[in-house]
Amino acid sequence: MQGAHQQETRSEDLADLFDKVRSYTETLCEPLKTEDFIPQPIVDVSPPKWNIAHTTWFFEEMILKKFVPNYQEHNPAFGFLFNSYYNTIGERTARDQRGSITRPTVEEVFAYRRAIDERMNEFLQGAIPAEAIDMVILGLNHEQQHQELLLTDLKYTFSQNPLFPTYKEDFARVGMMESWPAEFVEMDEGIYGIGHSGEGFCFDNELARHKVYLQEYSICNRLVTNGAFVDFIEDGGYTRHELWHAEGWDWVNTNTIRSPLYWHDRDGERMHYTLGGLRPLPLGAPVCHVSFYEAFAFAEWKGMRLPTEFEWEAASDKFDWGLRWEWTNSAYLPYPGFLKPIGAVGEYNGKFMINQMVLRGASAATPPGHSRQTYRNFFHPHLRWQFSGLRLVK
Amino acid sequence: MQGAHQQETRSEDLADLFDKVRSYTETLCEPLKTEDFIPQPIVDVSPPKWNIAHTTWFFEEMILKKFVPNYQEHNPAFGFLFNSYYNTIGERTARDQRGSITRPTVEEVFAYRRAIDERMNEFLQGAIPAEAIDMVILGLNHEQQHQELLLTDLKYTFSQNPLFPTYKEDFARVGMMESWPAEFVEMDEGIYGIGHSGEGFCFDNELARHKVYLQEYSICNRLVTNGAFVDFIEDGGYTRHELWHAEGWDWVNTNTIRSPLYWHDRDGERMHYTLGGLRPLPLGAPVCHVSFYEAFAFAEWKGMRLPTEFEWEAASDKFDWGLRWEWTNSAYLPYPGFLKPIGAVGEYNGKFMINQMVLRGASAATPPGHSRQTYRNFFHPHLRWQFSGLRLVK
Amino acid sequence: MQGAHQQETRSEDLADLFDKVRSYTETLCEPLKTEDFIPQPIVDVSPPKWNIAHTTWFFEEMILKKFVPNYQEHNPAFGFLFNSYYNTIGERTARDQRGSITRPTVEEVFAYRRAIDERMNEFLQGAIPAEAIDMVILGLNHEQQHQELLLTDLKYTFSQNPLFPTYKEDFARVGMMESWPAEFVEMDEGIYGIGHSGEGFCFDNELARHKVYLQEYSICNRLVTNGAFVDFIEDGGYTRHELWHAEGWDWVNTNTIRSPLYWHDRDGERMHYTLGGLRPLPLGAPVCHVSFYEAFAFAEWKGMRLPTEFEWEAASDKFDWGLRWEWTNSAYLPYPGFLKPIGAVGEYNGKFMINQMVLRGASAATPPGHSRQTYRNFFHPHLRWQFSGLRLVK
Amino acid sequence: MQGAHQQETRSEDLADLFDKVRSYTETLCEPLKTEDFIPQPIVDVSPPKWNIAHTTWFFEEMILKKFVPNYQEHNPAFGFLFNSYYNTIGERTARDQRGSITRPTVEEVFAYRRAIDERMNEFLQGAIPAEAIDMVILGLNHEQQHQELLLTDLKYTFSQNPLFPTYKEDFARVGMMESWPAEFVEMDEGIYGIGHSGEGFCFDNELARHKVYLQEYSICNRLVTNGAFVDFIEDGGYTRHELWHAEGWDWVNTNTIRSPLYWHDRDGERMHYTLGGLRPLPLGAPVCHVSFYEAFAFAEWKGMRLPTEFEWEAASDKFDWGLRWEWTNSAYLPYPGFLKPIGAVGEYNGKFMINQMVLRGASAATPPGHSRQTYRNFFHPHLRWQFSGLRLVK
């Protein structure tokens, strides 16, 4: 899965890293009640219980079962329950029925988690084969992806509740943008290197590093704000077909979309639901929870466009990023030289390379240190439960 | 809602009855874990949490708010969250989103329940208007209906779990049939009285009592067994179009139906999922969890038919009933002289009198004393998560 | 299929009847263009080409192939193409793909029709077994049902065309009601005979004749008018949940129903599409193209109700009928003693006896002489492409 | 719409071209019966009648109404009936209801066609503004696209008919591949020019010409054959999840896909439906009617991949093409510098640039001279009613 071998990672560093990443998941779960671990309101959202069991199962399945001699499975049924989509490994619970599984209980799942952590810690004390090191690092990056999903999924579930529950009071402040002036950075025509290189971890979809020819372009140093999106709405943005893709226009009309997700009107005041509760909409903050269709229509309305993922990556030294996942106008496709790994981890990325658009950067829900300039996230163009925003190019 | 006024019900009897029925709900909840209270795997199933809150809300809305001066609502949001389908009362949570509501927590809902019980107990100590007595009795019968649903819904949710959780070890034995010989009771042609009369409680759909002319018929004194249903299956019952309604045949083929719900094959042995876990199928027990379509096709195969609800009621002194809800070949329609009550309780029954078939009797999940010979249950013909069986007529 | 044997029907009478009924179908087709014979806009509607081929196929399959020695099929593929729903006979074209079949051409189908008519005429000259006589008469009644469907289906197809084509200029006048005064006819409580008796033809669903006990009721001698339905609309009938079945209310809101089918607003004037083109809505004419849900809601609004099919039949000597098919509040179920015929014709009626409501009478599209007081038509409660109206009871 | 102005096109050349292209449509229609002009079996398919009216309407709307003073519309309703998807121009018939419109008749539509041709011929005799010239040429290219669709759509409609009608006996031979040896052409790493340049016509999506950096690759000089695809099938290609995109795997299983479209098994012999009727499958001919998902899975199975559209274009001088539309692994996205034209023609291409994959080349159904090396066709990845095939890269 990783591009570069990690052979110099020392055992004790790895054990530390393991502990740090795994603990962070538990920290994220602290404000939750038992009930919050169960629901799956839409198929895209996973229950937190499934999430914490699945990330644990990954280490049991990919490390302990493979590298620990005579390893006894914690519970043979858990593979079926907590596998996500790895057809190679076998049968699994229907993806849309995860919210119906009440047993094992949340307590039992945390016990499973602790048991696997213990076995992993033992394992990480010993001499570890290079292949296992790679897989542990992959497992930790996988866990970080699920940390992000834990928050975005929880926000969606909570948002269905008319009481608008609060996850953490101060979460509303996360993702605010400093009020630096918007400027367009000019980029020259020419050949640029794209994709991951060097020794750190990366996912297979960031490889191989290759050359891309770009035309001249200018990219904005800041994200589009809520305030600008309000202008778009007030100028009839959601009712002007010429700004939209044909499929976007169908989506808008079929679902009666009139604003980004989680926006509410309370007696004429614009509010938005946050993990800190229902709050007045901060006009200066970057807009969030927009679909690709909305991002594209906004850019059309501005007479500009979204960057390609290559333009984004080539210019990413020149601006700050990390508050919102940023939609690009690139479809999620393999890089030249992309090689699908053998076995179950080969299902990690490649099989999703159709009908999805690439997002670049990171968001307020991304664990610290998880993303990088070459990181490629991807979603279907109508989805918007992620902390997704946009940046303009002209 | 009730047919006959209950004016002679004394306060202390009513308080006792209230306590008894309400406690029984809590007894039913004892084996549940917090997690079990949350899921709604299909729209027909309600989460136990919703169930226990909704039955409580009924008393708050219909009694305390109406009859207690200056009553302060426990929590104004609960009306929205726990109203079921009473359009008259106002907005409510979408019926298929009940499983997404994690807050209030289970503990908070039980606290709500205790608070309302306390206020109800105070109320029931005083002088109670006749109208309020009627409404309390309706509320208790309503709660008993939800006690039944609690079990049938829980069984459906648990059945989605590949671990087949156990609710109560000894629940599997409930609903066994004594092995008395099957006989057909002969009934004469003539006029019969149908519907409720006398002083006890009944629902509005059991009224008015009226005359019905029946032709001669013979009705079996026992229910169709699992063993007989196995014979039907082995004789190709699910693959012979001529036994089925056209819509039943579509249902069988679209959903690949090959047995009653909850039947499983384990290495060639017929098993069924029960609230006591996965068990070998007892051939002598009455078949359960069949749809109307299946009940009808079975009767066709036997060269017999299902009784009408009138035939069932007219003969119901002549056989034992109460193990399964029994499908009849009667559509759920108003009796002559049916009057829809004014206000929200008018939505209790009348608006469902279309596209549903009547079931008579009671089931293993029915609280003791809740049903009677004139009781009319009703479901869409494809549904089978109820403890539904059948009895033959020739 | 028929209840009573037709043994006294003489050959020459039968040949005359055959000629008369078959010719009428062709008369109905005269105003059609070749193009009109093809489309199937919704699954409930059949293309006219299919219709005229299917009624022909019925005689080939049920008479010629069975009773003519060494009969050679006209074209073996036609059985597959023009069978409707007789599973007993074998494979058939998917019901919703009838509109995709352009070959055989319309001309070839009429040639098929003429060829079968010729063979039938030869057959009807000879000595005909009683069983064949019954089947010919069934085939002719079947054809008359399809004559009715030809018009109702064509109206639906034409109504999809923004040009509102005219079938026949003077068709708009069909179905006008004389302006006699509305009166309620009183009917006594007691036992009434229901179902067909005597020697004429009837369908199996009209049998067996049996006794029904009715309570006292009054039934209106005329149908509900367009004018009355306008009052219902203007009084908010489509926006008042308490008038509707729960499923009717869903149907109204999901489909944004605001008037009977085929009503249009042209610059504030109420118009309706007829087979004579788009015309101003005649307020005195009986309302048409309403669903059962709408008929029920209208009756609720009036504080009255729909008759049961038994009430309708018992009183049908006392009022004129035949302008609209009239919704009753009876579900389509077998009569006591109903016997499903053996073989393919057993699929004629019995397998549809679920989830449908009975209509009584006849409509402007019914061929003369086809209906009778015991005739039972039936449709799903949401359908309204038939010429369906309503009559009130109190 | 066009990239380069066509100012040197002389009037008489344009009139000739107009006549030639328009006549070809009529030639294609010659084998059709009136009935064949009507059906729309799926939303992707348009009725031939709509097709020939729509291409005519394009000239009336875009040329005659704009450039002929005091032009009187042939029939004002036709704009509504025969507009395809131009929101800018106004209301139109729902795209999935085109098959319900029987009037105007086929004869009337051909009369419309002749009338517009006459007016166009008059117009083309005079002095024509440059803008009009461009639009006429666009209209002719548009008509050629519909000529192709006429055949592909007709094939789909005919394929629904169990009689497998023949369009033209000799059409089956179209698209055969000479048996030259398969070889891989090696292409160097470097910068290539992509997109249209020069003076001929092109669509807006072929612009602007720009530079692309390609890595080294080898591309096969011939298409994948039916025989190779049979090998894929026999090696379990449709049952091996690891070869498929996740969405492709769902598509295969939901739709029980087991072969390319139009393949049939007749008593163990592989046949395929062609416009020349049902024929034995020619193993040496290029495979046809595969979806992108199937093309991708086949390449995976071979251990190769599909070319990107840039790789295809850069190498297109080195191999023959034109028998099948060839799937590429490029998403349909705008080129750098793409400019959406102002007004209705701006809806021609840009709004479809999402969720579709690019095909390059041409097919047996493409009118002679219509395609070119820079031509970009595009379809959703599950569609396969086009004459689509594939070429491999390694």
Tens-place pLDDT, residues D276-297? 999 999 999 999 999 999 999 9
Most D CBs within 10 A among C100, C112, C153, C385, hence the mutation to make, goes to C100
Tokens of A19: 């502990």
**CB-count burial class (<10 Å; 0-12, 13-18, 19+) for C180:** exposed
pLDDT of residue A175: 58
DSSP symbols for B264-314: EEETTEEEEEETTEEEE--TTSBP-S--HHHHHHHHHHHT-BPPPHHHHHH
CA distance B298 to D199: 76
Task: Determine, for residues B353 and C245 on separate chains, whether the beta-carbon distance falls below 8 Å.
Answer: yes
Chain D's closest residue to A245, CA to CA, is D351
Which range, A89-93, B199-203, B355-359, D2-6, has the best average confidence (pLDDT)?
B355-359
DSSP E strands in A216-324: the ranges are 217-220, 263-266, 269-274, 277-280
CA distance C332 to B66: 42
DSSP symbols for D363-383: -TTSPTT---TT--EEE-TT-
Going by C-beta distance under 8 Å and a sequence separation of 6 or more, which residues neighbour residue A286?
A: A175, A177, A222, A223, A224, A225, A226, A323, A324, A389
Strand partners, D359: D327, D377
Averaged over A81-107, what is the pLDDT? 81
Residue range A257-298, pLDDT digits in tens: 999 999 999 999 999 999 999 999 999 999 999 999 999 999
Chain D contact for A244, CB < 8 A? yes
Most B CBs within 10 A among A102, A108, A161, hence the mutation to make, goes to A102
Which residues from chain B sit within 8 angstroms of residue C394, using beta carbons? none
**Residue D171 pLDDT level (bands cut at 50, 70, 90):** confident
Chain B contact for A161, CB < 8 A? yes
Chain C contact for B366, CB < 8 A? no
Task: Determine, for residues C213 and B212 on separate chains, whether the beta-carbon distance falls below 8 Å.
Answer: yes
Chain A contact for D210, CB < 8 A? yes
Q: Pick from D115, D319, D86: which is nearest to D220 by CA? A: D319
Tokens of C188: 């006594």
Q: Do chains B and A touch (3 or more CB pairs under 8 A)?
A: yes
Chain B's closest residue to A99, CA to CA, is B39
Residue D330, φ and ψ in degrees, nearest 5: -110, 135
pLDDT of residue B5: 42
Touching partners of D (3+ C-beta pairs < 8 Å): A, C
CA distance C299 to C305: 5
In chain D, pLDDT over 70 holds for what percent of residues?
Answer: 93
**Residue A182 pLDDT level (bands cut at 50, 70, 90):** confident
Chain A's closest residue to D343, CA to CA, is A242
**CB-count burial class (<10 Å; 0-12, 13-18, 19+) for C370:** middle
CA distance A237 to C300: 44
Chain D contact for A94, CB < 8 A? no
Residue B111 pLDDT greater than 90, yes or no: yes
CA distance B242 to C346: 9
Q: Do B207 and B338 contact (CB within 8 A), yes or no?
A: yes
Q: For B12, which DSSP code? A: H
Which residues from chain B sit within 8 angstroms of residue C211, using beta carbons? 213, 215
Strand partners, D273: D278
Which residues from chain D sit within 8 angstroms of residue A335, using beta carbons? none
Q: Report the sign of the C-alpha dihedral through residues D331, D332, D338, D342, in that order.
A: negative
Averaged over B83-92, what is the pLDDT? 67
Residue A349 pLDDT greater than 90, yes or no: no
CA distance D57 to A180: 53
Residue range B26-84, pLDDT digits in tens: 999 999 999 999 999 999 999 999 999 999 999 999 999 999 999 999 998 888 888 87
- Report the relative pairing of strands D325-331 and D388-389 from DSSP bridges: parallel
Task: Determine, for residues C34 and D36 on separate chains, whether the beta-carbon distance falls below 8 Å.
Answer: no
pTM of the prediction? Answer: 0.94
Going by C-beta distance under 8 Å and a sequence separation of 6 or more, which residues neighbour residue D79?
A: D57, D61, D73, D89, D90
Q: Pick from A73, A75, A64, A68: which is nearest to A139 by CA? A: A64
Q: Pick from B103, B107, B34: which is nearest to A167 by CA? A: B103
Chain D contact for A247, CB < 8 A? yes
pLDDT of residue D178: 60
Strand partners, C272: C263, C279
CA distance C90 to A220: 67
Q: b/e per residue, A151-190, with b = 16+ CB within 10 A?
A: bbbbbbbbbbbebbbbbbeebbebbebeeeeeeeeebeee
Averaged over D149-154, what is the pLDDT? 97
In the block, which residue shows the tokens 């029915």? B366
Which residues from chain B sit within 8 angstroms of residue C210, using beta carbons? 215
Averaged over C143-163, what is the pLDDT? 96
pLDDT of residue A29: 98
Task: Determine, for residues B160 and A104 on separate chains, whether the beta-carbon distance falls below 8 Å.
Answer: no
Angle at A203 between CA A197 and CA A205, to 5 degrees: 90
Residue C217, φ and ψ in degrees, nearest 5: -155, 165
Which residues from chain D sit within 8 angstroms of residue A296, using beta carbons? 354
Crossing angle of helices C292-302 and C246-254, in 10° steps, is 120
Q: Pick from D142, D343, D309, D353: which is nearest to D210 by CA? A: D309
Residue D59 pLDDT greater than 60, yes or no: yes
pLDDT of residue D138: 96
**Residue C12 pLDDT level (bands cut at 50, 70, 90):** confident
pLDDT of residue B178: 60
CA distance C131 to B300: 25
Averaged over B167-175, what is the pLDDT? 77
Chain B contact for A39, CB < 8 A? yes
Residue with more model confidence, D89 or A109: A109
**Residue D92 pLDDT level (bands cut at 50, 70, 90):** low
Residue range A289-328, pLDDT digits in tens: 999 999 999 999 999 999 999 999 999 999 999 999 999 9
Cis peptide preceding D77, ω within 30 of 0: no
Mean pLDDT of chain A: 92
Chain D contact for A241, CB < 8 A? yes
Chain A contact for B50, CB < 8 A? no
pLDDT of residue A95: 82
Nearest-CA distance A50 → chain D (Å): 21
Tokens of A225: 């704000």
Cis peptide preceding C53, ω within 30 of 0: no
Chain B contact for C245, CB < 8 A? yes
Q: Among the listed ranges C257-261, D73-77, D214-218, D313-317, which one has the minimum average pLDDT value?
A: D73-77
Q: Do chains D and B touch (3 or more CB pairs under 8 A)?
A: no
Chain A contact for B165, CB < 8 A? yes
Residue A280, φ and ψ in degrees, nearest 5: -60, 145
**Residue A345 pLDDT level (bands cut at 50, 70, 90):** confident
pLDDT of residue C62: 94
In the block, which residue shows the tokens 């991304």? A366
B23-32 long-range contacts, CB within 8 A, separation 24+: B24/B147, B24/B367, B25/B52, B25/B55, B25/B143, B25/B146, B25/B147, B25/B150, B28/B147, B28/B150, B28/B151, B29/B150, B31/B167, B31/B168, B32/B154, B32/B167
pLDDT of residue A1: 38
Residue D305 pLDDT greater than 60, yes or no: yes
Q: Do C251 and C291 contact (CB within 8 A), yes or no?
A: yes
Residue D7 pLDDT greater than 60, yes or no: no
Chain B's closest residue to A157, CA to CA, is B100
Nearest-CA distance A246 → chain D (Å): 5
pLDDT of residue D86: 67
CA distance C244 to A252: 31
Most A CBs within 10 A among D250, D354, D357, D378, hence the mutation to make, goes to D354
Touching partners of C (3+ C-beta pairs < 8 Å): B, D
Q: What order of strands is seen across the sheet that includes strand B277-280? A: B263-266, B269-274, B277-280
> Nearest by CB to D351, which of A210, A246, A346?
A246
Task: Determine, for residues A102 and B163 on separate chains, whether the beta-carbon distance falls below 8 Å.
Answer: no
Establish how many alpha carbons lie within 13 A of residue B132's alpha carbon, considering only the half-sphere containing its beta carbon: 21
State the Cα torsion A296-A298-A300-A306 to the nearest 10°. -50
CA distance B270 to D315: 63
Q: Among the listed ranges B212-226, D4-18, D36-50, which one has the minimum average pLDDT value?
A: D4-18
CA distance A154 to A141: 20
Residue B3 pLDDT greater than 50, yes or no: no
Neighbours of C221 (CB within 10 A): 16
Residue C39 pLDDT greater than 50, yes or no: yes
Residue C2 pLDDT greater than 80, yes or no: no
Task: Determine, for residues A161 and B105 on separate chains, whether the beta-carbon distance falls below 8 Å.
Answer: no
Going by C-beta distance under 8 Å and a sequence separation of 6 or more, which residues neighbour residue C151?
A: C28, C167, C275, C365
Residue B260 pLDDT greater than 50, yes or no: yes
CA distance D101 to C165: 10
Report the SS3 class of residue D194.
strand
Neighbours of B30 (CB within 10 A): 7
Q: For B60, which DSSP code? A: I
Q: Do D63 and D120 contact (CB within 8 A), yes or no?
A: yes
Nearest-CA distance A277 → chain B (Å): 13
Mean pLDDT of chain C: 92
